[in-house]
Each structure stands twice: as structure tokens, then as C-alpha cells.
Chains A and B, each alone.
Chain A
């Protein structure tokens, strides 16, 4: 078995717990001293770093949620001097305000290290050519995989998204052995290759795909293998944790969360109580090694469970099961997080619309398709078809700007969309995953 860092990855449980405790203690001392936010939050919960005497005591600490990031936009959660920051990433937030995450040099290093370990667990190494088909930019996917693959010593092709025919030429010409990207984009890529008459098995060296940023299934893994011979691995992470970080190993049974980097809990979303392995609940992660932007007991909103037993690969880190859903109403569209509340917020900018809307998500071919149905205000009626189409285009633009993902817009007559008493059901998700 090949490990990237054998000592840390196969460390016995007791030793791991000691190491985790040391990391947590150092982290708490630091944030308690340096961050008004964490200090206040711990004070409010009646807990100080001295109350934490073992890693299990982590349960005494208050949770963090996405709303904490929103409320402290853009940089009130930053725990280091401004001059120590080296990067920001930005993703869509819950109310139209984006979520900003920041990094020190060590944070970037830690993130790359986590990715390098994960890629090794998938069976990749120095001799591989990894084509990164995640978007490069504010989204963490592109640069996250890029730095991790470089750290591993592999050759990186920073292909980013789109221009699929060219991507397939690159896979052939540069002898790409692995692709990283979203599962829907990878399946699209396989479809395009087929149309171009390119047989992945015979005409390329492609053997591994590292896929993430949106939910997918074991069925999709089998389908990919059947049509292309490519072994697809699941990579997991969110911008709050750093970005994509954790993968399943060659056993392909659960995502390993490196224990020296992060502490994993599954909690009951109602009571906040930690649940034992095997039980489903809300995934909650503490990144033990973050400097700029610590995340302590961060509730991701994803539903998963910690798998029981040890992994035959020899890694002692806990494994989480595939994400089976969300505890909130967040949608993932082509790898981008979309909150219905952010859609609502963006629509408010258009004075010719009523406040009612419906989001319909489906798949067009292999790709996610988001349709937002909006209502025209009666007084905004114009006799001009061009004028109405322009309104539609303006709404499409405001949504794209706010969400970083394209949505189709349908202008509907006043009072034609459903009204809700109590909790609105504005999302119709027709995708089968």
C-alpha cells in the first residue's frame, strides 16, 4: 500500500486522539486570544480553552454555521494579521451575500497536503498526468486540485471547464491519466468523446477520475466504469473547510477524513448531540490546522454517517458515507451551491417582478439545468415582445451575477405561481441521482 504520509495516515487511535487534542488546544488558545468572534461565542457558551481536557471535550464547544460566515462578512472571522493572508476564495452565500474564505501560506500548504494524500489514496502519484477540469477562480475546485496535484509531484494540466472537444484532444495528446472535475461534467466529457469517435480505453491513457462538488452515486461510478473503464473516486470538501480535500481510497468505501487535519462528528441536527458510527446525521467538522479562518464544529448541512470498522487500506482515519442529502434547502447546481434565499434576494432587484417564484431543477442530457419561473407585475405589462424578452434577460443576468451559475428564466403571468401558507416549497428538484 502506498501512502503519502504513512506515519500520520496509519497512526494508532490513541496516538491520533492525543495529537488531535494537542492541535485543538493550540487552536482554541489562539482563537480565544485573537478573535472577538470565537471569544464571544465561547463566552456565550460558558466554555474556555481550559475546560477542554481531551478531544472528546470538543462537544462542549459551540457550533458554527453558514450564517456565522454571512453575519461576519467579509473578514470578521479572520484570526491572523492582514499581512499574513495570501488568498481569498468566494462562494455563493445564503442571502445573496457571498461567503468569503481566507488563507495563510500555511493554510494553502495544509490544503495541498490534504489533497496530495487523498490523490495518493486514489492510486495516483508522481508519474500521473492530472487534467483539472474544475473551474479555476473564486471557486475552490480548480486551484485546490491544482496545488494538491502539484504537491504530489504529478503533471498538472490546468484545463478548467468547458471547450470539451479540446479537453479530449489534450487527454490524447498529453497522455492524461486522471481527470478531476464534477461528475456531471465528466460524464458529459465521455459523451462528447464518444461522439468524436474517441475510445477512452483504446485511444487514451485515462484510468482515474476524481469527482466531486456535487452529489453522485455508486450507480454513476459503475456506469462510468462500464462505458470507459475509468475508476471514479469521490472527493469531498467545501470552501469553508478549505476546498476539496478528502477522497475515498482504492477500497472505494467511504471518504477518509485525515484525522490530524480535521475532527469529524455526526450530530443529531435537532439536539446537536453527537451520534455513534453508523447513524445518519449532520456532518460536523473541525479543521484542526487552519490559521486564517478556523472552522470549529462547523455544521456543513450535509447528511452522512461515519462508517463502522476499519478500512482494509490501513488508514486509521474515519470514513464518512456518501452524502445522501441536506438538512437545509441548499441546492447544488453544476457543482455550485445555490440557496433559494439567494435566488429570492437576487429577484428582489427586479422591480417588475412580484415576490413569487419557483425553482425547477432537472437534467438536460447529463448536465444540471435550473429554471426559475418568475411572475410579472400587472403594472409592468408592456405591449412589446422585445420589452418582455428583455425583462427575462435582465433577470437571467441578475441571477447569474448573484449565483455564479446560469439559470433559465420564464416570465409568468401574475398570480400564476403557487402561493404558500407557512413554509414555502419553492424548489422542485426533478434530478435523479
Chain B
């Protein structure tokens, strides 16, 4: 019932090598997919590129065709007031609900800020967050 808040993030495996990011960006360009949010997590010699795009299926197919290792990951987008303390308000409520964030990244989306969070059970978490009065951004705002 909270399906509308589940955002299909793409997680793409990449080497830590010069030119790799450009190669990946080129695939988005060539397929006409628009990037809404973007983040790189890195380990020793590799990284995972986490990206939210307007057409996840189109992007997935294009990357898979070029032998990239990638998968969909369900994430939530929490609306934050674009004022000092916005993140604190959101984080405090999540903490009180005892929801463990595996990772998060934030970006500005129009008039407000958005905090993308990866949690163990996004469906359950969405329900709990809504109930606590936290505003979630619907997936339809990103995927067209």
C-alpha cells in the first residue's frame, strides 16, 4: 500500500579507474535517460554508483547489454525543509522509530531537500514514517 513511495534506485558496480565515470555517464546520455540523484560509494578498488533516474528500466537494459553488473535497490525519499535543522528533524524522527539507515544521501529537489535512505524493509518503513508525520516524496516525482 506504500508502493507509490518505493523508488527504484540503480546500483551499478564500477572500477575505481580514470574514465569509468565518464563511460557510465555516456550510457545515460546515449539512452536519453535523465539523472535525478547520484551518489558514489567506494571501497578499495571498486565503487558502487547509486543513481535515481527518470526511466530506470531503459537504463537497466542499456547497462545490462554492456555487461555491467547492476541491480535495482528500493529506497525512500524523505522530504526535508530547506532550512537549517531540516536534516535534524528528519533524522530524529527516523531514530525514534528505530529504523536503521544502511546509507543515505541528500540532494535538493525544487523548493525542498530530499534525503534518499536505504533501509532494511522500505515498505514497512514507509508506513511507519508516514504515520509519524514524515512526508515522503512519491516515486512518480522521479520516474516518469
Q: Does B107 lie at the interface of the complex (its beta carbon under 8 Å from any beta carbon of A)?
A: no
**Which chain B residues lie closer than 8 Å to A384 at the CB level?**
102
Size of A's binding interface in residues, CB under 8 A: 19
CB–CB B69/A385 < 8 A = no
- Tell whether, in the assembled complex, residue A388 and residue B45 are in contact, meaning their CB atoms are under 8 Å apart: no
Contacting residue for B15 out of A380, A392, A412, CB 8 A: A412
Q: Among A380, A388, A392, which residue has the most Cβ atoms of chain B within 10 A?
A: A388
**A385 neighbours in B (Cβ, 8 Å):** 41-43, 48
Instruction: Tell me if B50 is interfacial: C-beta within 8 Å of chain A.
Output: yes
Name which of A148-156, A205-213, A413-421 contacts chain B. Answer: A413-421
Tell which of A389, A413, A415 touches B14, judged by Cβ atoms closer than 8 Å: A413
Q: In the complex, are the beta carbons of A410 and B45 less than 8 A apart?
A: yes
Give the CA-CA distance A376 to B13 in the complex, in Å: 9
Q: How many A-B residue pairs have CB under 8 A?
A: 55
A382-B45 contact given A376-B13, A413-B13, A416-B15, CB 8 Å threshold: no
Q: Is A381 on the interface with B (CB-CB < 8 A)?
A: yes
By the criterion CB–CB under 8 Å, are A383 and B46 in contact? no
Verify if A411 is at the interface (C-beta below 8 Å from B). Answer: yes
Shortest Cβ distance from residue B61 to the other chain A in the assembled complex, whole angstroms: 13
Set of chain A residues within 8 Å of B68, measured between Cβ atoms: 378, 413-414
Assess whether B69 is in contact with A383, with CB atoms less than 8 Å apart.
no
* Listed residue (B13, B73, B102) with the most chain A CB atoms within 10 angstroms of its CB: B13
Residues in A whose Cβ lies below 8 Å from that of B50: 383
A411: chain B residues within 8 A (beta carbon): 45-46
Contact present for B64 and A388 (CB under 8 Å): no
CA distance A376 to B45 in the complex (A): 13
A403 to chain B minimum Cβ distance, whole angstroms, is 20
Which residue, of A378, A381, A383, A385, has the highest number of chain B Cβ atoms within 10 A?
Answer: A383
- Chain B 15-52, CB-CB to A under 8 Å as 1, else 0, gives 10000000000000000000000000111111010100
* Cα-based distance from A388 to B118 in the complex (angstroms): 17
Q: Say if the beta carbon of B67 comes within 8 Å of chain A.
A: yes
Q: What does DSSP make chain B's interface, helix, strand, loop or mixed?
A: strand
Cα(A376)–Cα(B64), bound, Å: 13
State whether A381 and B102 are in contact (beta carbons under 8 Å apart), knowing that A388-B46, A413-B69 are contacts in the complex: no
For residue A414, which residues in chain B have a CB less than 8 angstroms away from its CB? 67-69
CB pair B67 A415 closer than 8 Å: yes
**CA of A382 to CA of B71, assembled, Å:** 7
Interface residue A377 (Cβ < 8 Å from any Cβ of B): yes
The CA-CA distance from A411 to B15 in the complex, in Å, is 8
Residue of A nearest to B50 (CB): A383
Contact A381 B46 (CB under 8 A): no
A229 to chain B, nearest CB (A): 41
B residues near A378, Cβ cutoff 8 Å? 64, 67-70
| Residues on the B chain within 8 Å of A380, using CB | 69
Task: For the complex formed, measure the closest distance between the CB of B65 and the CB atoms of chain A, giving whole angstroms.
Answer: 11
Contacting residues, chain A, for B46 (C-beta < 8 A): 388, 410-413
**From residue 70 to 100 of chain B, which have CB atoms closer than 8 A to chain A?**
70-71, 73
- Minimum CB–CB distance for A220 against chain B, Å: 31
Please measure, in the bound complex, the distance between the C-alpha atom of A411 and the C-alpha atom of B50, giving whole angstroms. 18
CB distance from B132 to the nearest CB of A (A): 25
Enumerate chain B residues within 8 angstroms of A377, measured Cβ to Cβ.
69
A380 and B50 CA atoms in complex are apart in Å by: 17
Bound state CA distance, A377 and B68, in angstroms?
A: 9
> Once bound together, how far apart are the Cα atoms of A389 and B43, in whole Å?
7
- Please report which residues of chain A, range 383-422, place their CB below 8 angstroms from some CB of chain B when the two chains form the complex: 383-385, 388-389, 392, 410-416
Contact (Cβ within 8 A) A383 B48: yes
Residues in B whose Cβ lies below 8 Å from that of A383: 9, 11, 48, 50, 71, 73, 118
Q: Nearest residue in B to A411 (C-beta to C-beta)? A: B46
Q: Give the Cβ gap from B119 to chain A, nearest Cβ, in Å.
A: 12
* Closest residue of A by beta carbon distance from B71: A381
Please report the C-alpha to C-alpha distance between residue A381 and residue B9 in the assembled complex, in whole angstroms: 14
Give, as a whole number of angstroms, the nearest-CB distance from A255 to chain B.
Answer: 41
Interface residues of A in 327-378 (CB under 8 A from B): 376-378
Tell me the smallest distance from the CB of B56 to a CB of chain A, in Å.
14
Contact B43 A388 (CB under 8 A): yes
Which residues of A sit under 8 angstroms from B64, Cβ to Cβ? 378
A412 to B13, CA, bound (A): 8
Q: Which 8 A-B pairs have the closest CB atoms?
A: A415-B67, A383-B11, A381-B69, A383-B73, A378-B69, A410-B45, A381-B71, A414-B67
A-B contact pairs, 12 of them (CB 8 A): A377-B69, A378-B68, A378-B70, A382-B11, A383-B11, A383-B48, A383-B118, A384-B102, A392-B43, A413-B13, A413-B15, A413-B69
Additional A-B contacts beyond A382-B71, A383-B9, A383-B50 (19; CB < 8 A): A376-B13, A376-B69, A377-B69, A378-B69, A381-B11, A381-B70, A381-B71, A382-B11, A383-B11, A383-B118, A388-B46, A388-B48, A389-B44, A392-B44, A410-B45, A411-B46, A413-B67, A413-B68, A416-B15
